[in-house]
Amino acid sequence: MRLLKHSSFLAVSLSHFIVDVFNGQIGILLAVLSVPLALANSTIGLIATIYAISGAVSQPVFGWLSDRFGGRWTTAGGVIWMAACFSLAAVTPGTWPLLFLVVGSLGSAAFHPPGAMKASQMGNLHMAGQAATAASIFFLFGQSGLSLGPAAGGAIIDHLGLRGLLLVTALGLPIGLFAAWALRGETAHQPGTRAAPRTGKDEIESQTQWVLFSLVLLVAGLKSWSQMAITTFAPKYFHDLGLAPTIYGAIVAVFMGGSAIGGVVGGMASDRWGQRRTITLALALSIAPLYFFPIARGLWVYPVALIAGFFNGAPHSVLVTMAQKLIPGKAATASGIILGFMFTSGAVGVYFSGLAADHIGLMRVL
């Protein structure tokens, strides 16, 4: 954890934490709003899809802007934007909270590409090239936010109502300002010299890189679908079973906590034993716990959720650093593409999961 002594790495990590604390509220908020607004499962899935896609398709654009002009203001501005939008969602009546939630997702889109790029850079500079391990620590903060967010949000809403969410959003401003200060040295990347003429061998290598990049995107998208289906619909599923927001918030928190731990273990394993082996083993071992997650009852649901989250989250940082290496010199753009694709794939999958749930039930879908 010596990386945390560097203010820039600490800033992007704390920013990742609070951004994903906000993102972690979506399932809880939609479950709570489903009663007064009479939201069907398909509608919940559609809103979650719109939220994720609006925060996904723009990530490559923000990645390109960060590669071109530096990531200081996209990082800090994204945090502050989300804090403002989620604050408005907490205090406005009617269907306005849904609009502010969707608009707030652009803050997440602005933050993630430069944040992931900076974390990998710090790993290469200060950890002898262990970019995946550094990225896994960065993503640990985000996954911790996704874990603690539902638990904190569920408990706060239980006791204070939606306006209690302001206790969470109040953290966004100081963290965003700290990021702006810590990244004050970030400038636009200087253009390099003119590239040498491409040879036939270069073309073949380039085609191979894009094939591998597409495969990485596919694996990342499928992994993301499983995670988003659980974080979006598990609250509604357990809500329908009669559990309180505090309980199903804790269940999702355990799942995302397992994902956070798995992400760090996966990053470290990748730097030691290889990327392909880590990804293949982790995803294979995730199948059984993901299957038993909606079936488990009582206290058994917590260890099953923990194990499912662990193996589902293990390949996350590995996939992102693989993507960065496959597009040399454009790490933020590569991060924006793969993270955006993850969110988009998960969002589209969640929408179809919602449609299916209205016909065959949430248990079967999960």
For the segment 110-135, the average pLDDT, to the nearest whole number, is: 78
Whether pLDDT at 192 is above 50: no
| Tokens read off for 172 | 């966004």
**Per-residue pLDDT at 113 exceeds 90:** no
Between 283 and 204, name the one with better pLDDT. Answer: 283
Res. 78: pLDDT tops 60: yes
pLDDT at 193: 36
How far apart CA 24 and CA 66 sit, in angstroms, is 25
CB proximity list for 355: less than 8 A, separation 6 or greater: 42, 45
* The pLDDT value given to residue 259: 86
Is pLDDT at 328 greater than 80 in this prediction? no
Can you give the pLDDT at residue 1?
58
For residue 80, give the H/E element and its range.
helix 72-91
Q: What pLDDT, in 10s, does the model give residues 163-189?
A: 888 888 888 899 999 998 988 876 555
Enter the tokens of residue 79: 């945090």
Mean pLDDT of 12-31: 87
pLDDT at 199 over 60: no
Other residues' Cβ atoms within 10 Å of the Cβ of residue 158 = 15
pLDDT of 273 > 80? The answer is: yes
What tokens does 47 get?
Answer: 């809103």
Distance between CA 275 and CA 267 in Å, rounded? 9
Place of tokens 């731990």: 261
> Which tokens hold the place of 103?
């608009």
> Does the pLDDT of residue 200 top 70, yes or no?
no
**What CA–CA distance (Å, rounded) separates 70 from 117?**
11
Average pLDDT, the chain: 82
Please determine, for residue 195, whether its predicted confidence score (pLDDT) is greater than 60.
Answer: no
How far apart are alpha carbons 12 and 178 in whole angstroms?
Answer: 9
196 to each of 3, 192, 200, 202, 322, how far by Cα in Å? 36, 11, 13, 11, 25
Q: How confident is the model at residue 120 (pLDDT cuts 50, 70, 90)?
A: confident
Contact 238, 230 (CB under 8 A): no
Residue 29's pLDDT band (cuts 50, 70, 90): confident
Overall size of the chain counted in residues: 366
